Amino acid sequence: MYKQFYQGMTLEELPLFALVLFIAIFLGVCAWVFGARRSQDFDALSRLPLSERGEGGHE
């Protein structure tokens, strides 16, 4: 089935390029989210449910 689908394509490398591009973007986003610079933001957000009064002043 795949052989018949790709038989008429002129750009055989396109699916492989798209896969490599997706993996690179996915790993880049994961590195950005879990980077060391953002750990302070996560620490502050993790303490919000335990605080008696939030930053917004909602009671």
Distance of CA 34 to the CA centre of its chain: 10
- Structural domain range at position 21: 3-47
Is 55 inside any structural domain?
Answer: no
pLDDT of residue 54: 54
Report the chain (59 residues): mean pLDDT per 10 consecutive residues: 74 87 96 78 79 58
Please give the pLDDT value at position 26: 97
19 in a structural domain: yes
Would you say residue 59 lies in a domain?
A: no
Q: Considering its fold, how many domains does the chain have in total?
A: 1
How much is the CA Rg of the chain, to the nearest whole Å?
23
Q: Cα dist. 42→4, 30, 33 in Å? A: 49, 14, 10
Close Cβ partners of 46 (under 8 Å, ≥ 6 residues apart): none
